[in-house]
Amino acid sequence: MQGNMNLTLKVWRQKNKKTQGRMETYSLSGISPDMSFLEMFDVLNEQLIAKGEEPVAFDHDCREGICGMCSMYINGRPHGPKGGVTTCQLHMRSFSDGDTIVVEPWRAKAFPVIKDLVVDRSAFDRIQSAGGFVSVNTGNARDANSIPIPKTDADEAFSAAACIGCGACVAACKNASAMLFVSAKVSQFALLPQGQPERKMRVERMVAQMDEEGFGSCTNTGACSAECPKEISLEHIARLNREYFGAKLTSEKV
pTM: 0.92
Residues in the chain: 254
Q: Using an 8 Å Cβ cutoff, are 102 and 76 in contact?
A: yes
Query: Is residue 1 scored above 60 in pLDDT?
Result: no
* Per-residue pLDDT, 141: 64
* Per-residue pLDDT, 149: 86
Q: What mean pLDDT value characterizes the chain?
A: 93
User: For the residues 24-39, what does the mean pLDDT come to?
Assistant: 97
Q: Which residue has the higher pLDDT, 247 or 134?
A: 247
Q: What is the pLDDT of residues 160-214, one digit of tens each?
A: 999 999 999 999 999 999 999 999 999 999 999 888 989 999 999 999 999 999 9
DSSP conformation letters of 103-147: EE----TTS-EEETTEE--HHHHHHHHHH----S---S---TTSS
* Per-residue pLDDT, 254: 40
Residues near 42 by Cβ (< 8 Å), separated by ≥ 6?
Answer: none
3-state secondary structure of 83: coil
3-state secondary structure of 154: helix
What domains can be seen in the chain, in order of their start residue? 5-114 (3.10.20.30), 121-249 (1.10.1060.10)
3-state secondary structure of 228: coil
Query: Is residue 253 scored above 60 in pLDDT?
Result: no
pLDDT tier, 241 (very low <50, low <70, confident <90, very high otherwise)? very high
φ, ψ (nearest 5 deg) of residue 13: -120, 130
pLDDT tier, 108 (very low <50, low <70, confident <90, very high otherwise)? very high
Q: What is the pLDDT of residues 114-173, one digit of tens each?
A: 999 999 999 999 999 999 888 767 667 666 567 788 999 999 999 999 999 999 999 999
**Measured CA distances, 172 to 108, 166, 222 (Å):** 10, 12, 9
